[in-house]
Amino acid sequence: MSWQDVIQQGLVARDSNEKAYNSIIDHYRRLAQQTAILKERNSSLLKAASSVGGAGTRSTAGGGDSSVARAYTTSLESQLSTLRDELATVYKTQGQNAQRLLVMNEALREREERSRAEVEETRLLRVEAARLRERVASHAEVMREKERNVQILQDELSTLQLEYTQQEQKIKDLKSDNANLLQRWLDKVHEEAVRMNDANQFLVEWNQSENHPESASINLSLLIELSSNVG
């Protein structure tokens, strides 16, 4: 329930409380009007009785006074009975209105209590909504911070992957260079070994074909030369 509804209900209850006495006020107003009319009638009757008493003889005046008095008494009794009936009606209406007023006051009290409870519930809901909005804003900020961290990590990972790829390429190039160098060295060693074998074979054959005294020194010189070439 909104605050406009609460105010409207309060105004309706106030109007109902004020209107509860309207019927009583109307009854009292009618009673006052009837009382004024009756007073005017009584005054007219008294004037008529006085005029009748002054115009006739004593005997006739006495009879006229008695007739007027009876008529006046009857009129007063009728008026009194009517006033009593109307007063009883007023009291009855007043009691009914008082009972209605009590019921309406109780209903108004219960409605006000419900309104206060609803206002308090609305206040608590607003507080909870504000707290949830703060939590959502905080979570959104946390998510943005995490997204920034993820982006930073992704950039670092991309950089590391690029460096790793470059290092792998360097390693492949080094392996290829080492393999080429090793193959060249092996080829050279093989070539030198072949040359040494050929030289040894030549020396052996030469020694076998000619028995010269200087062959030993020649063999030694050749071996030293071949060894230096291999190194």
- Domain co-membership, 97 together with 36: yes
Of residues 55 and 85, more confidently modeled: 85
Q: Given a cut of 50, is residue 56 above it in pLDDT?
A: no
Rounded to a whole number of angstroms, the distance between the first and last alpha carbons of the chain is 106
153 within a domain of the structure (yes/no):
no
Does the pLDDT value for residue 57 go beyond 50?
Answer: no
- What is the predicted pLDDT for the residue at 46? 64
The pTM of the full predicted model, rounded to 2 decimals, is: 0.36
165 found inside a domain: no
Is 35 a domain residue?
A: yes
Range of the domain at 9: 3-138
Q: What is the pLDDT of residue 55?
A: 47
38 and 102 share one domain: yes
> What b-and-e string marks burial along 153-192, b requiring 16 or more CB atoms within 10 Å of the CB?
eeeeeeeeeeeeeeeeeeeeeeeeeeeeeeeeeeeeeeee
CB 189 within 8 A of CB 230: yes
The arithmetic mean of pLDDT across residues 83-87, rounded, is 79
- The total domain count for the chain is 2
Q: Same domain, yes or no, for 128 and 216? A: no
pLDDT at residue 59, rounded to an integer: 44
Ranking 26-40, 130-144, 161-175 by mean pLDDT, the lowest is: 26-40
Per DSSP, which regions of the chain are E strands? none
DSSP single-letter state for residue 57: -
Say yes or no: 102 and 208 in one domain. no
Confidence of residue 221 (pLDDT cuts 50, 70, 90): low
**Is the distance from CB of 24 to CB of 65 less than 8 angstroms?**
no
**Amino acid symbol at 27:** H
Rounded Cα distance between 70 and 62, Å, is 12
Determine the pLDDT at residue 61: 45
In terms of domains, do 20 and 110 share one? Answer: yes
Q: For residue 196, is pLDDT > 70? A: yes
Binned at pLDDT 50, 70 and 90, residue 3 comes out as low
pLDDT score for 58: 45
Instruction: Say if 121 falls within a structural domain.
Output: yes
Radius of gyration of the chain (CA): 69
Q: Is residue 145 part of a domain?
A: no
Q: How many CB atoms lie within 10 A of CB 91?
A: 12
> Does residue 21 sit within a domain?
yes
pLDDT tens-place string over residues 25-50: 776 777 777 777 777 776 666 666 56
Same domain, 7 and 85: yes
Query: Distance between CA atoms of 74 and 41, rounded to whole angstroms?
Result: 13
Alpha carbon distance 11, 5 (integer Å): 10
> How many helices (H) and strands (E) would you count in the chain?
4, 0
Amino acid at 178: N
pLDDT averaged over every residue in the chain: 76
How high is the pLDDT of residue 44?
Answer: 67
Tell me, yes or no, whether 130 and 28 share the same domain: yes
Do 120 and 212 sit in the same domain of this protein? no
166 assigned to some structural domain: no
- pLDDT greater at residue 18 or residue 125: 125
For residues 19 and 154, the model is more confident at 154
Q: Give the count of beta carbons closer than 10 Å to the beta carbon of residue 20.
A: 19
Cβ–Cβ < 8 Å for 206, 215: yes
The answer to whether residue 83 sits within a structural domain is yes
Provide the CB-side half-sphere exposure for 6 (13 A, CA).
15
Domain boundary among 74, 103, 138: 138
**What is the pLDDT at residue 168?**
92
